[in-house]
Amino acid sequence: MEFTEPATKRKAARKAARKSKLYRKDGIKLLLMALPFVILAFAFSYVPLFGWIYAFFDYRPGIPLSNTEFIGLENFRTMFSDPRMGPVLINTLALSLLSIATAPIPMLFAIMVSEVKSEWFKRLVQTTSTLPHYISWIIVFSLAFSMFSTEGAVNSILFKLGLSDTPVNVLGNYDRVWTVQTLLLLWKSVGWSAIIYLAAIVSIDSEQYDAARVDGAGRLRTIWHITVPSIMPTFIVLLLLSVSNLLSAGFEQYLVFSNVMIADRIEVLDLYVYRLGLVTGDYSYSTAVGIFKSVISIILLFTVNFLSKKFRGQGIV
């Protein structure tokens, strides 16, 4: 007995050492695999932050920063007195809030897809609904223009059927531009956004559904009492992250769909920064506006994280 116990302990220690060494090797492999993505994230998300220094100088292209006049917070004071900032912020908040209002649609779509019994039809729906995500906004604009312009397919059909005598300019409608852009964004993103909900639904224990059916629950009751509560934490986290990105309404979509008839209603904060910096050449002021947006987004992120911890018991970051 005295000789057996030390031998058993040594054997267990050697086994634990081998397992620990194996874990270290796996950890190094995973680190090396993740390293290129960490470098890319650092290069494109953190290195550009050094450019924030231009917001405090009266920078002009071609003049070294050392020879540029330091103006401190002048660009930030100009921003708060800029007459364009008000409409731009209204456009940004309106389009972001409309996007948040449609947030339940991908969840409902995922629930409906998960209830389809035919596997081939389910794969067909998932594929066709996800494909628009991979189509660039340039192509989406081309498709929308060919369909909804005054000489597009929709107006041609309405005219030939005698349903309309005058063409309807959908893409140039000043009063409906927010609705049109929200519907286009929803069409492009609903399939992709539903993927995370489908993953959450798949992870639900199937025994819960079996027990509910034994108790006499139908399809609607199992959805309401099992599926929806199970994926609701995922929905809340995504919703809170959307709130933290309230000032990030997008850029490419509104850049390609902008025209003289709707320009004032579609100019969001990112598009405004682009026009200030690359169109008018006011790099210092555009950098100040970008800093303002980043600071507000960080404040919103920590605010929703605090509220999440207070009301849900756990944060999102």
pLDDT per position as a tens digit, 245-270: 888 888 899 999 998 899 899 999 99
pLDDT, residue 8, reads: 63
**Looking at residue 268, what is its pLDDT?**
93
- Per-residue b or e along 106-122, where b marks 16 or more CB atoms closer than 10 Å to that residue's CB: bbebbbebbeeeeeeee
CA distances from 217 to 75, 107, 149, 186, 202 (A): 63, 22, 49, 33, 20
In whole angstroms, what is the distance from residue 182 CA to residue 200 CA? 26
The pair of structure tokens assigned to 11 is 């054997």
C-alpha distances in Å from residue 200, one per residue of 117, 205, 241, 311: 18, 11, 17, 22
147-161 pLDDT per residue, tens: 988 888 888 888 888
SS (H, E, C) the chain: CCCHHHHHHHHHHHHHHHHHHHHHHHHHHHHHHHHHHHHHHHHHHHHHHHHHHHHHECCCCCCCHHHCCECCCHHHHHHHCCCCHHHHHHHHHHHHHHHHHCCHHHHHHHHHHHCCCCHHHHHHHHHHHHHHHHCCHHHHHHHHHHHHCCCCHHHHHHHHCCCCCCCCCCCCCCCCHHHHHHHHHHHHHHHHHHHHHHHHHHCCCHHHHHHHHHCCCCHHHHHHHHHHHHHHHHHHHHHHHHHHCCCCCCCHHHHHHCCCCCHHHHCCHHHHHHHHHHHCCCHHHHHHHHHHHHHHHHHHHHHHHHHHHHHHCCCCC
Tell me the two tokens of residue 197: 């909900």
Which pLDDT score is estimated for 6? Answer: 61
Question: Is residue 28 very low, low, confident or very high in pLDDT (cuts 50, 70, 90)?
Answer: confident
Distance, in Å, from the CA atom of 68 to the CA atom of 8, rounded to the nearest integer, reads 74
CA distance 29 to 23: 10
Q: Which tens digits make up the pLDDT trace of 276-301?
A: 988 888 899 999 999 999 899 889 88
Mean local confidence (pLDDT), 236-253: 86
The whole-number average pLDDT for the span 12-24 is: 59
Report residue 130 as tokens.
Answer: 């996800």
Say yes or no to pLDDT of 131 above 90: yes
Digit-coded pLDDT (tens) for 66-117: 888 898 899 999 998 989 999 999 999 999 999 999 999 999 999 999 988 8
| Predicted model pTM | 0.82
pLDDT of residue 102: 93
Q: What is the pLDDT of residues 168-226, one digit of tens each?
A: 888 888 889 999 999 999 999 999 999 999 999 988 888 888 888 888 888 888 889 88
Residue 147 near residue 154 (C-beta atoms within 8 A): yes
CB atoms within 10 A of CB 206: 8
